[in-house]
């Protein structure tokens, strides 16, 4: 599994801290996590439409 993640870690420059993952997994964080993901998807789609 770690082998598969090497290109991702190379791109990101660092791994996500375990503390962040544990916090993000909390049910009360679901709304914030989904809104953040939605914003990232929206930004990504806007960037690709400019190409």
Show pLDDT as tens, one digit a residue, over the chain (51 residues). Answer: 889 988 988 998 888 899 999 999 999 999 999 999 999 999 888 887 776
Q: What is the pLDDT of residue 33?
A: 93
Q: What is the pLDDT of residue 1?
A: 80
Q: What is the pLDDT of residue 51?
A: 65
Q: What is the pLDDT of residue 16?
A: 86
Domain boundaries, the chain: 2-49
| Cα–Cα distance measured from residue 29 to residue 5, given in angstroms and rounded to the nearest whole number | 25
The pTM of this model reads 0.58
Q: What is the pLDDT of residue 32?
A: 95
| Cα–Cα distance measured from residue 34 to residue 12, given in angstroms and rounded to the nearest whole number | 20
């Amino acid at each position: 599994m770690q082998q598969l993640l090497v290109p991702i870690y190379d791109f990101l420059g660092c791994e996500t801290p375990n503390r962040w993952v544990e916090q993000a997994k909390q049910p009360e964080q679901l709304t914030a996590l989904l809104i953040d993901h939605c914003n990232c998807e929206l930004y990504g789609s806007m960037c690709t439409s400019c190409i």
